[in-house]
Amino acid sequence: MSNSAENQSELQKTMMGQLNADRRRKLIFNLVILALLILAPAVIYATFLMKILCFALFAVAFNLLLGFTGLLSFGHAAFLAAGGYTTGYLLSSHSGLTTEMGIIAGTAAATVLGLLFAIVAIRRQGIYFAMITLALAQLVYFVFVQAPFTGGEDGLHGVPRGHLFGLIDLENNVSMYYFVLVVFLGGYLLVQRIVNSPYGQVLKAIKQNEPRAVSLGYNVDRYKIIAFVISAGLAGLAGSLKTVVFQLASLNDAHWHMSGEVILMTLLGGTGTLLGPVVGATFVVNLEYQLSQGPLGDWVDPILGFIFVVTVLAFRSGIVGEIQKFVKKNLG
């Protein structure tokens, strides 16, 4: 009995040591990434970095729905555009609204739209859910085409960046970058907190086996609606930031192609991983930029389509997922 107790104690100490070592490695990794992000404007054009961060936040928002809840939405472009158009219109209408309030308003508009989408679509599953979200997003797209406040196919141009809290001039690209970085980190940490919370564990259970979650007494529809609304709100936040960064609210943000692009970013980076969508968004934005600068500029969509097919067939875990599998297999 004494030897058994001693062995169990040693095993617990070993497990705790491994857990603490993993936490230290994650902390060091996160601090290194944060340092690189802080120093990045000294090396890379700030506007390009902001574009990556906006799309990374968009992909992180989408991954909360697909990667952790198991819901494939083909309509997330509607929320990106709703946030962007709302913020762009309010800041351009000489209403006296501050930049931060315009972004909050855009996020709120996307959140409300997400709730409407969720109420209609959430009782369906699989391809039916995806098609309903696509159909609703197309309705929103045609509203944006016809609505007088959106500028139609021309979009909204010359959206002022203004001042943050009346103090920081956001016309300065470096100041704007650090603002976008803070907002991105806030959105990322929010998703991380949700995923690691008891609520997040229920979402994972729904994704793995929804009938079992129902049998355990969980109100599955309510959990999915909340996840959808949070995801839509964060997507709207990404759209609002993008509009302020580029001083433009574009109809392209509402097109179904944008919904497909965020799916590609998430799958390529790795669904169900926190860092995967960020890596996927970085890869896709960089690839689009590099291709557009060369002789293959007209082949961007076919090349992205080919990468999508290869990812789905050969690398279903995505870049981050495959790396995690390799590390787990070879480094224990």
- For residues 75 and 255, what is the distance between their CA atoms, to the nearest angstrom? 9
- For residues 250 and 124, what is the distance between their CA atoms, to the nearest angstrom? 31
Residue 82 lies in a domain: yes
Residue 41 lies in a domain: no
CB 144 within 8 A of CB 85: yes
- For residues 220 and 110, what is the distance between their CA atoms, to the nearest angstrom? 23
pLDDT on residue 306: 84
Nearest 10 degrees: Cα torsion 37, 50, 68, 223: 120
Average pLDDT over residues 64-82: 92
Average pLDDT over residues 243-260: 89
- For residues 61 and 121, what is the distance between their CA atoms, to the nearest angstrom? 18
Total domains in the fold of the chain: 1
pTM value surpassing 0.85: yes
Kindly report, residue by residue over 147-161, the tens digit of the pLDDT: 888 887 888 888 888
CB 315 within 8 A of CB 322: yes
Total H helices, total E strands in the chain: 13, 4
Residue whose structure tokens are 């002022």: 160
The CA-CA-CA angle for residues 306, 310, 311, to 5°, reads 115
CB 99 within 8 A of CB 168: no
Residue 277 lies in a domain: no
Residue 208 lies in a domain: yes
Q: Is the pLDDT of residue 11 over 60?
A: no
Residue 9 lies in a domain: no
Kindly report the average pLDDT of the chain as a whole number. 86
Residue 133 lies in a domain: yes
Residue 219 lies in a domain: yes
Domain that holds residue 156: 46-255
